[in-house]
C-alpha cells in the first residue's frame, strides 16, 4: 500500500469515513483532493481534516457537478467514492432527496469520470442495508438484495452503476458493503445517522441510552481505522478477484451489549423503550457480515474490538467536544431545516 506521491480523489472527504481516509492518505504522502458539497445534513465538517488541511486540496462542489472539476479527475490514480447520505430514516421522510444525493448525482459523476479518466480504480462505499432483513447469518455477498428503505434501494442502484461500468471496461470499480462503522469524526450533531452515533451523542451529553424492546438485535460494529485499511487495500490492489465485498466487524454484539458497554464508560443509564412504529418498519433485525471474501483476497481482518474501539472514540470526542456536540442544542430526529422546497412524499405505512 504505497500511496506516496499518488494522486488520489476522495469524494465526501469532509464526512466521517471520507475524512479519516483523507487524513490517512495525506499522512502516507499521497496528493489528496477532496470533493465535498458540504451539503447540510450529510456530515461534512471542516474540522475533520484540520490536522492535514494545508496538505490537501478541497473542492466544494456537488458530486453531480463533476464537469466543474473535470481537470481533477484526469490526473487521479485512485478514486475513493464516499459521497452520499447515510440516514435510512431521512430517506423514508424525503425519498426524492435521497434519490438525488445517492443515485442521480452518482450517475452524473460516473459519466464524467468515465470520459475524463477511463479505467481508473474506484472504491465505492456501499452499505449492508442493501440486504434488508437477513435470511441467514452471517450475511455473505450472495445474500439476496432486498432493502427495506429508500436509502438501501438508492445505494444499491449506485453500486450497480459502478459494477456495470466495470463490466464494460469503462472503470475499474470495487464496492465495499460496510456494516455499522464507528469512531472519531462521526457527525454526532446530525440526527438519524445510526444507532452508534445516537448512543455516543447521548452518552457524551450525559443522557440515558434508549434500547428498543429487548435490544437483542445483533450488530457487528467495525472501527473506522479498520475500514480505512480496507479502502486502502482495495485501492492499491493490482487486480481484483471480485467486485463486491462485505466489510464487517470482529464480533457480533446485541444492541443492549453495545449500549451497556458505552454506559459503563460514560456513567449513564440504559433504559428500555417500546419500538417506535415508524422505525420498526425499517428495522432489519439482527445482522452480522461474512467478511471472509475480503479477508481471503486482501489478507485483512478487523483488529479493533468494540470495547477498545469505543473507549478510544469516547476519549477522542472528549478532547474535541466543541467541534462535534452542542450541549445546549439537542438533536431531534427529523429532516434538516435547510431542505428548502424539497417535496416530501406521504408514505403509506406498511
Backbone dihedral angles phi then psi of residue 31, each to the nearest 5 degrees: -95, 105
CA 9 to CA 98: how far, in whole Å? 23
> Measured between alpha carbons, how far is 114 from 102 in angstroms, rounded to an integer?
18
* Alpha carbon distance 207, 200 (integer Å): 10
Average pLDDT in the chain = 92
Exposed/middle/buried for 315, CB within 10 Å: 0-12, 13-18, 19+? Answer: exposed
Question: Is residue 348 predicted with pLDDT exceeding 80?
Answer: no
Which of the residue ranges 103-117, 118-132, 268-282 would you say has the lowest mean pLDDT? Answer: 268-282
Residues 6 or more apart in contact with residue 266 via CB below 8 angstroms: 203, 204, 206, 314
Give CB contacts under 8 A, 24+ apart, made by 275-279. 275/212, 275/213, 276/212, 277/349, 278/89, 278/92, 279/89, 279/212
d(CA 201, CA 187) in angstroms, rounded, equals 9
Of 82-96, 260-274, 326-340, least confident by mean pLDDT is 326-340
* Euclidean distance between CA atoms 44 and 93, whole angstroms: 21
- Cα separation, 241 vs 239, whole angstroms: 7
Q: Are 99 and 154 in contact (CB under 8 A)?
A: yes
Q: pLDDT, tens digit, for every residue of 167-181?
A: 999 999 999 999 999
Least confident among 26-35, 139-148, 273-282: 273-282
CATH number belonging to the domain at 7-328, selected among 3.40.50.720, 2.60.120.560, 1.10.150.120, 3.30.43.10: 3.40.50.720
Q: Is the pLDDT of residue 137 over 60?
A: yes
> Alpha-carbon distance 87 to 171, whole Å?
28
User: For position 259, what pLDDT does the model report?
Assistant: 98
- Classify residue 69 by its DSSP letter: G
The number of beta carbons lying within 10 Å of the beta carbon of residue 233 is 17
Q: What are phi and psi of 57, to 5 degrees?
A: -110, 135
What's the whole-model pTM score? 0.93
pLDDT at 75 over 80: yes
Average pLDDT over every residue of 116-143: 98
Amino acid at each position: 500500500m504505497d500511496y506516496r506521491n499518488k494522486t488520489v480523489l476522495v469524494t465526501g472527504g469532509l464526512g466521517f469515513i471520507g475524512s479519516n481516509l483523507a487524513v490517512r492518505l495525506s499522512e502516507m504522502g499521497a496528493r489528496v483532493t477532496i470533493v465535498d458539497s458540504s451539503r447540510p445534513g450529510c456530515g461534512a465538517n471542516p474540522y475533520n481534516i484540520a490536522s492535514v488541511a494545508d496538505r490537501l486540496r478541497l473542492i466544494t462542489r456537488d458530486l453531480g457537478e463533476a464537469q466543474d472539476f473535470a481537470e481533477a479527475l484526469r490526473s487521479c490514480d485512485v478514486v475513493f467514492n464516499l459521497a452520499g447520505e447515510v440516514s435510512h430514516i431521512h430517506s423514508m421522510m424525503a425519498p426524492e432527496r435521497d434519490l438525488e444525493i445517492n443515485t442521480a448525482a452518482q450517475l452524473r459523476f460516473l459519466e464524467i469520470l468515465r470520459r475524463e479518466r477511463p479505467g481508473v480504480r474506484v472504491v465505492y462505499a456501499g452499505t449492508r442495508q442493501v440486504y434488508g432483513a437477513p435470511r441467514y447469518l452471517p450475511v455473505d455477498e450472495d445474500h439476496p438484495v432486498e432493502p427495506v428503505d429508500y436509502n438501501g434501494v438508492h445505494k444499491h442502484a449506485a453500486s450497480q452503476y459502478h459494477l456495470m461500468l466495470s463490466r464494460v471496461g469503462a472503470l475499474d470499480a470495487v464496492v465495499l458493503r460496510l456494516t455499522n462503522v464507528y469512531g472519531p469524526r462521526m457527525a454526532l450533531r446530525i440526527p438519524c445517522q445510526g444507532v452508534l452515533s445516537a448512543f455516543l451523542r447521548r452518552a457524551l451529553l450525559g443522557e440515558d441510552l434508549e434500547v428498543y424492546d429487548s435490544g437483542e438485535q445483533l450488530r457487528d460494529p467495525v472501527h473506522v481505522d479498520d475500514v480505512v485499511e480496507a479502502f486502502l487495500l482495495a485501492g492499491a490492489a493490482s487486480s481484483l478477484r471480485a467486485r463486491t465485498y462485505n466489510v464487517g466487524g470482529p464480533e457480533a454484539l446485541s444492541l443492549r451489549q453495545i449500549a451497556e458497554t458505552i454506559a459503563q464508560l460514560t456513567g449513564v443509564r440504559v433504559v428500555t423503550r417500546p419500538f417506535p412504529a415508524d422505525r420498526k418498519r425499517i428495522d432489519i433485525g439482527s445482522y452480522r457480515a461474512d467478511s471472509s471474501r475480503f479477508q481471503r483476497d486482501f489478507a485483512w481482518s478487523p483488529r479493533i474490538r468494540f470495547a477498545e474501539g469505543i473507549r478510544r472514540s469516547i476519549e477522542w470526542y472528549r478532547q474535541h467536544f466543541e467541534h462535534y456536540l452542542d450541549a445546549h442544542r439537542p438533536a431531534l430526529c427529523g429532516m434538516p431545516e435547510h431542505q428548502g422546497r424539497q417535496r416530501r412524499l406521504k408514505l403509506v405505512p406498511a
